[in-house]
Structure 1
Amino acid sequence: MGTKVADWPQIINDRSNHDFSVLYNQHVGTVRRILARMVTSNDLDDLVQDVFVRVYRFQDSFREEADMKTWIHRICVNTVQDHYRKKRWTGLLSFGTENEPEPVARDNHAEDLQNQNFVEQALHKLSVKERIVVVLFYLEDSTIEEISDALKLPEGTIKSRLHSARIKLQSFMKKEGVDV
């Protein structure tokens, strides 16, 4: 059952094709990594599922000449933006309840976990727009052009957001006593 990358447009455009699982298996790791850097762990599984529901539901909008990776990144971005939009409204509508931030689990004996938590804390200091660009550029190794295509924004805007994010991250790191 060796489905090739070149077959993906056919898989995604053929609703009766059971090879959709191949597409899922090929991209679930990347989708999970992108989302994990943008949302809390409580929301991660639901949002991964939402992304692939959207991939299936909006498969008619996929253009065969487009890059599958860029298209799925765009769906991830839209899903995260919708998630935060819903969260904001939920927060505004819950009058008497306090929405305390989820405590970050720390294992003082594991340096890797500390570093991961530090990176997550730093990323959450950024706006959602900046965080998306940073995650795609630095953590998913997407090019400026790929990010521009995925977000449907000019390359200059992507570069500007990266620059702004770098400044904020440097400031955060200095406050935390990390040499920049």
Structure 2
Amino acid sequence: MPTAFSDRAEDESDHHLVQRCLRGDTQSFRLLYRRHQQRVRSILYQLCDPSALDDLVQEVFLRAWKGLPKFRQSAQFSTWLYRIAWNVASDQRQAAAQGRTRLQVLTRTATTQQDAPDVMQLHYQDLVQRGLAQLSFDHRTILVLHDLEEVPQKEVAEILGIPVGTVKSRLFHARAAMRQFLQKEGVQL
């Protein structure tokens, strides 16, 4: 009967799946993982060392599982989960600053491309990655969440625990810095 559960669970909201998880249903948490892991992975990829990506994604979902009993049911699960992802990225950044890990990756590969990637596409992906690396962590976070992951400003504010006005301000400055970097690299905007 696992297929009947899977078919029924696919249509359930995150809220209902969280309720099931709180009653000890691990299948529901697996579904939440499948539903959200790609976006969590994408956020972490933009903010952290790609070589540590699998471990960081695991850490996010481990923290989510352990923290589920404290989850405010009035909040949106995805917002709460992305906040955990941001916290994991922040922890990783602090560890790197203290010299416990190295965040510099000398070679980058396009793992998201299935067939032979277009050389210009790789060039622009590399430029974006290098541009993001030039930004402060706060500005990079705002740009990744809002512009690359298309999270609404209000939700970004909730994830980061800052006012919407601060999100708008950081977004403005992050875009300006990215624009300046790209122009310096010869990209016509």
Q: Scaled by the length of structure 2, what TM-score is found?
A: 0.84
Aligned pair in 2 of structure 1 residues 139, 12: CA closer, same or farther (>3 Å)? farther
Aligned pair in 2 of structure 1 residues 106, 151: CA closer, same or farther (>3 Å)? closer
158, 165, 171: which one pairs with 1:156? 165
Aligned pair in 2 of structure 1 residues 57, 128: CA closer, same or farther (>3 Å)? same
Aligned pair in 2 of structure 1 residues 100, 15: CA closer, same or farther (>3 Å)? closer
Match of 2:52 in 1: 43
* Residue range with higher mean Cα deviation, 31-40 or 3-12: 3-12
Aligned pair in 2 of structure 1 residues 147, 12: CA closer, same or farther (>3 Å)? farther
Aligned pair in 2 of structure 1 residues 118, 11: CA closer, same or farther (>3 Å)? farther
Letter matched to residue 142 of structure 1: V
Q: How does 1:105-116 map to 2 (within 5 A)?
A: 105=108, 110-116=119-125
Query: How far does residue 90 in structure 1 lie from its aligned partner after superposition?
Result: 2.1
Aligned pair in 2 of structure 1 residues 18, 128: CA closer, same or farther (>3 Å)? same
Aligned pair in 2 of structure 1 residues 63, 12: CA closer, same or farther (>3 Å)? farther
Letter matched to residue 80 of structure 1: A
Q: Scaled by the length of structure 1, what TM-score is found?
A: 0.88
Tell me if structure 2 keeps the 8 A contact 1:145–1:155.
Answer: yes
Match status 1:133 vs 2:142: yes
Instruction: Specify every segment of 5 or more residues in structure 2 that has no aligned partner in the other structure, as ranges.
Output: 1-5, 111-116
Match status 1:119 vs 2:128: yes
Matched pairs, number: 174
* Residue range with higher mean Cα deviation, 10-19 or 161-170: 10-19
Letter matched to residue 44 of structure 1: L
Query: How far does residue 175 in structure 1 lie from its aligned partner after superposition?
Result: 1.0
Instruction: Specify every segment of 5 or more residues in structure 1 that has no aligned partner in the other structure, as ranges.
Output: none
Tell me the distance in 2 between the aligned counterparts of 1:28 and 1:63.
Answer: 21
Aligned pair in 2 of structure 1 residues 158, 45: CA closer, same or farther (>3 Å)? same
Tell me the distance in 1 between the aligned counterparts of 2:129 and 2:103.
Answer: 17
Aligned pair in 2 of structure 1 residues 109, 148: CA closer, same or farther (>3 Å)? closer
RMSD: 2.1
